Chains A and B, each alone.
Chain A
Amino acid sequence: MATKQIIRMTVNGEDVELLVEARESLLEVLREKLELTGAKEGCNNGNCGACSVIFDGRLVNSCLVLAVEADGKTITTVEGIARPDRLHPAQRAFLEEAALQCGVCTPGFIVASKALLDQNPNPTEEEIRRFLAGNLCRCTGYHKIVLAVQKAAAMMQEGV
């Protein structure tokens, strides 16, 4: 049996320290050990984006990061996107535009949309589609998701 290692990371602003095996992914540790089940396992090999988190400022698939690689890193999951009293504009726009159906891909889309809007406050439809191509949705046909991201961009520009 391989040795276990203690890792320390900051998850949604909170410092956590835990013992992990090297074979455990960040996704697995978030879900099964920290019980942050917002990130979903859709494929476990980087092809669906349902497990998207922000990892030291970058959008990544948490299924493709080992928990041991997260030692010393800062992670934001979907649970850390909203403020206590207020949803993020992307979250509000997804609700208002009916941009979710079953909702299982939604956490990944919310995290990815936030990452997009943080780096590109006014994306075109093409830019939205390209950026979100790593997030699969099987319910919506993406139509309302694209509209929601555009609306979130407008909300952020207007500061609402």
Chain B
Amino acid sequence: MKPIDYVRARTLDEAVLLLRQGGERARVLAGGTDLIVQVRENRRDVDLFVDIKNIPETNRLEYDPEHGLTLGAAVPCYRIYGNPAVAKAYPGLIDAVAMIGSVQIQGRATVGGNLCNASPAADSIPPMIVYRGVCHIYGPQGSRVVPVEEFCTGPGQTVLGPGELLVWIHFPPPERHAQAHYLRFTPRNEMDIAVAGSAAYVRLNGERIASARVALSAVAPTPLFVPEVGEYLAGKEITDEVIRQAGELAKAAARPITDMRGTAEQRKHLSAVLTRRALRGAIQRAQEA
């Protein structure tokens, strides 16, 4: 690895100052499970790591049924699934954080880092989209908020401007008779990157779907929110045909590429399969919620 500097920031302002001074070659270091590898393999040119793991705001993991969940950008996966209240309220998020990498990776990797790394195949982003997560960003101009589905702008690209960092992601409290499920497809059962993934959120009204949100991974340059599935499902009775149709809409929205991890045709196909399965999983959870 090239020579590099490292600073442990203690406050948001200190982090912002360091990021501004460092310019494009300064990079926030949270869990490091993507970033360290990218720098080591010369895939990202960085001169300065700004470690945000010692800033109080980025370590927040706070949930209450009235205000929802505040998830700090430096909170590692294991703390999320290790929190019983969070695990009960947002099982669709747990699906993702418990499958990222391995137990070792989950001991370091953060959801904030998953978001800022902006991989199209990121597992945690589709569930954050369907749970209506909102990114709280702090920077030289102060704070701003951006919905998760608008945070990634391309592979490895985000809305973060110079000197800005992601502080936390906020999720509204769980709704009654509503829940989410995330599924991905990988050739190995663990330690793999999604060939495709689908997160579905449904709110039920008896036998009908009151509202739904679906987001896909690994089928577009960014994790993909597919509003047309939700629009189609709103008010529909739960039938096999309705679910099949929802899967077809997800498939139609997917615009994948062929690469070493899978073919475009396979990813299109899986978008439908996984969306059907995620919807069934979410419906089952919603019925129990």
A binds B: yes
Q: Is the CB of A52 within 8 A of B3?
A: no
| Interface flag for A78 (CB, 8 Å) | no
In the bound complex, CA of A47 to CA of B191 (Å):
7
**In this complex, what residue of B is CB-closest to A3?**
B5
B-chain residues with CB within 8 Å of residue A58 when the two chains form the complex: 76, 78, 107-108
**In this complex, what residue of B is CB-closest to A61?**
B104
Q: Do A46 and B41 form a contact, CB below 8 Å, given A23-B4, A66-B32, A66-B36?
A: no
| Interface flag for A2 (CB, 8 Å) | yes
In the bound complex, CA of A43 to CA of B3 (Å):
21
Q: Is the CB of A64 within 8 A of B190?
A: no
| Interface flag for A16 (CB, 8 Å) | no
Q: Is the CB of A5 within 8 A of B6?
A: yes
| Interface flag for A45 (CB, 8 Å) | yes
| Interface flag for A55 (CB, 8 Å) | yes
| Interface flag for B101 (CB, 8 Å) | yes
In the bound complex, CA of A134 to CA of B40 (Å):
20
A-chain residues with CB within 8 Å of residue B32 when the two chains form the complex: 64-66, 69
The proximity string for B residues 102-141 relative to A, scoring 1 for CB distances below 8 Å and 0 otherwise, is: 1111011000000000000000000000000000000000
How extensive is the interface on chain A, given as a class?
A: 20 to 34
Rounded to whole Å, the gap between the CB of B280 and the closest CB of chain A is 22
Q: Is the CB of B104 within 8 A of A46?
A: yes
Instruction: Give chain B interface residues in 75-99, CB to chain A under 8 Å.
Output: 76, 78
B-chain residues with CB within 8 Å of residue A135 when the two chains form the complex: 102
**In this complex, what residue of A is CB-closest to B79?**
A58
In the bound complex, CA of A23 to CA of B78 (Å):
26
Q: Which of A52, A64, A131 contacts B36 (CB 8 A)?
A: A64
In the bound complex, CA of A134 to CA of B191 (Å):
6
| Interface flag for A143 (CB, 8 Å) | no
Binding site for A on B (CB under 8 A): 1-6, 8, 29, 32-33, 36-37, 40-41, 47, 49, 51, 53, 76, 78, 101-105, 107-108, 189-191
Binding site for B on A (CB under 8 A): 1-3, 5, 21-23, 25, 44-47, 49, 52, 55, 58-61, 64-66, 68-69, 71, 112, 115, 130-131, 133-135
